[in-house]
């Protein structure tokens, strides 16, 4: 092995080790001073490093034993200085797992129940742009807000998008890539763009195709 290749391999090992150590140190635990900025930061909870963009922590609540994956963005409002009307704006319940690279962007109310898991790159928001005035660029029109809630025990697959006004029941499964808006009952499987009920559970007959009647 030539000297250059040996040096490159050894340097790579050092860099990877330093990165692992940095991410471990950057992980936020309940005893850290930074955790005290949150509305609530639960026992056994953690923000895995490296974190994504996080601001207005005083309006964010993270439940006991919930793990937020690396590069996840958690925000309330549009800037760290914005005063919100109530707190928390974003509430994540107990024993949840939020997948890598996900975004939870709250302006009014986003509530996740307990024991919810998401795949990577899930996007949840309670605010959207409007397009009602054809003479004004969409990005400059006043956005609309509508509360979002996700029932305990639910699973959101990779790249799921949860739009304002969505209310999911308990133990809901959302297939990867679905775009969800609306109110859905407990124990259903959602998929598609826009999302619809693919399967539902009946206590009498078990899992059945389509929506409950």
Q: Is 187 a catalytic residue?
A: no
Distance CA 122, CA 4 (A): 42
Q: Which of 164, 174, 67, 83 is nearest to 125 (CA)?
A: 164
User: Which member of 129, 159, 187, 200 is catalytic?
Assistant: 129
Distance CA 11, CA 28 (A): 28
Task: Write out the catalytic residue numbers.
Answer: 129
């Amino acid at each position: 092995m030539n000297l250059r290749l040996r040096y490159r391999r050894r340097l790579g090992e050092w860099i990877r080790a330093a990165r692992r150590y940095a991410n471990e140190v950057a992980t936020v635990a309940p005893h850290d001073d930074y955790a005290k900025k949150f509305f609530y930061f639960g026992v056994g909870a953690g923000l895995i490093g490296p974190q994504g963009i996080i601001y207005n922590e005083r309006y964010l609540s993270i439940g006991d034993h919930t793990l937020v994956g690396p590069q996840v963005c958690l925000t309330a409002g549009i800037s760290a200085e914005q005063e919100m009307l109530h707190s928390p704006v974003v509430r994540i319940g107990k024993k949840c797992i939020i997948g890598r690279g996900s975004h939870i962007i709250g302006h009014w109310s986003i509530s996740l129940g307990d024991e919810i898991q998401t795949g990577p790159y899930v996007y949840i928001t309670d605010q959207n742009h409007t397009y009602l005035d054809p003479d004004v660029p969409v990005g400059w029109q006043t956005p609309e807000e509508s509360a979002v809630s996700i029932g305990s025990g639910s699973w959101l697959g990779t790249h799921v998008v949860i739009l304002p006004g969505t209310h999911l029941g308990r133990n809901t499964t959302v297939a990867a890539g679905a775009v969800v808006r609306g109110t859905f009952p407990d124990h259903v499987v959602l998929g598609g763009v826009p999302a619809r009920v693919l399967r539902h559970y009946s206590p009498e007959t078990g899992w059945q195709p389509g929506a409950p009647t």
